[in-house]
Amino acid sequence: MSRLNEYIGGVTWGFMGKRGTWATKAAGTSMELMKSVTGANWTAIAFSAFQATAQSTNIPYQEAPTVTDDEVLWAIRKAKTLGLKVCLKPIVNCADGTWRAHINFFDKDVPCEPKWSDWFRSYNAFILHYARIAEETGCEMFCIGCEMVQTDRREAEWRTLIAEVRKVYTGVITYNCDKYQEANVTWWDALDVISSSGYYPETDWEAQLDRIEPVVQAHGKPFFFMEAGCPSRSGSAAIPNDWSLPGGPDQEEQSRFYQAMFSACQKRSWVQGFMLWDWPAELYPLEEAAANDDYCMYGKASAPVIKHFFTTTINSQE
């Protein structure tokens, strides 16, 4: 079983990318800038497949707008040429805009109603397809799911999927649970690494780390934040998971959040890194950074904060 044996100073790349937006010169430049601006040593290459609604049981991952396999292969190769280690992160979303955490079905099968068994059959095919790509391309880590809160209770199905993934992928396997859900996943023991989404208020990091620490200790597994970040928007440091929060562009808000998060986490040796959210394949021009109020750090006050923390921490552990 593979283990995590180094600090992850990572950034998530490409998530909002749709078919045709990867494997371009602009996408290559975006990834190059991500590494140089942040000092990252890892990246999560993230992309979505779309089921129609939260109650749909078919995930058409080979159809548009999902990026093609060739685009995924290109992104992995590009990251490798930059010296980045790669976590491949296929994500399922709902085409109607419902957040994936609400994908849910009856616990007991009912005739004429959609069923967990049908959904997991499609989800397994989706995940195993990319697990094979992760193995063939030498991705160091593979993420089998992201923030799927209502599915977390389906322990037997997740354990079956993990066993199937291990038949085709030999690297590190993790699952990205949602914020506040770390203690609710009962199958961490089947994985190599515990990871969660670190969208906690800037003033609440110590309390949340106190809450998460016993979970990590109980399982004896490495832990890192597979997602963490904050929009550069007024008010976002208090509720960093709300990407639709009203407010004007505010670089200092984002920078302040990162300083608070890094300050709290560096005191906890069990926090083995971050995969910051996020960096798009199609990057805005540098001159538009001040007006951009999204999560990306390019050209913003948080960028040097991140690079200093990553490079200092990575170098101290080498």
**Average confidence (pLDDT) over 133-161:** 98
Per the domain annotation, does 250 fall within a domain?
yes
Q: What is the pLDDT of residues 111-126, one digit of tens each?
A: 999 999 999 999 999 9
Per the domain annotation, does 1 fall within a domain?
no
DSSP symbol at 67:
P
The contacts of residue 204 (CB under 8 Å, 6+ apart) are: none
- CATH of residue 83's domain is 3.20.20.80
Which residue range(s) make up the domain with 25? 8-316
Strand-pairing partners, residue 275, are 10
Torsion sign across C-alpha atoms 1, 42, 47, 68 = negative
Contact 15, 281 (CB under 8 A): no
Mean of pLDDT over the chain: 97
Q: What is the pLDDT of residues 28-55, one digit of tens each?
A: 999 999 999 999 999 999 999 999 999 9
Question: Which pLDDT score is estimated for 4?
Answer: 76
How sure is the predictor about 69, in pLDDT bands with cuts at 50, 70 and 90?
Answer: very high
**Average confidence (pLDDT) over 269-298:** 98
Per the domain annotation, does 48 fall within a domain?
yes
Query: 79: which 2 tokens?
Result: 């990251």
How sure is the predictor about 306, in pLDDT bands with cuts at 50, 70 and 90?
Answer: very high
**Average confidence (pLDDT) over 271-294:** 98
Query: 279: which 2 tokens?
Result: 């960096």
Query: Model's pTM, two decimal places?
Result: 0.97
By C-alpha distance, which of 109, 43, 40, 125 is closest to 310? 40
Helix H segments across the chain? 25-38, 69-81, 116-137, 155-168, 205-219, 251-265, 302-316
Q: What is the pLDDT of residues 192-242, one digit of tens each?
A: 999 999 999 999 999 999 999 999 999 999 999 999 999 999 999 999 999
Per the domain annotation, does 44 fall within a domain?
yes
Per the domain annotation, does 243 fall within a domain?
yes
As for how many domains the chain has, the answer is 1
Contact 276, 219 (CB under 8 A): no
Question: Which pLDDT score is estimated for 1?
Answer: 36
DSSP symbol at 239:
S
Contact 27, 79 (CB under 8 A): no
% the chain with pLDDT above 90? 96
- In this structure, the number of other CB atoms found within 10 A of the CB of residue 286 comes to 10
Per the domain annotation, does 125 fall within a domain?
yes
DSSP symbol at 225:
E
Strand-pairing partners, residue 45, are 13, 88
Query: 113: which 2 tokens?
Result: 């109603």
Per the domain annotation, does 2 fall within a domain?
no
Produce one character per residue of 83-119: b if its CB has 16 or more CB atoms within 10 Å, e if not.
ebbbbbbbbbbbeeeeebbebbbeeeeeeeebebeeb
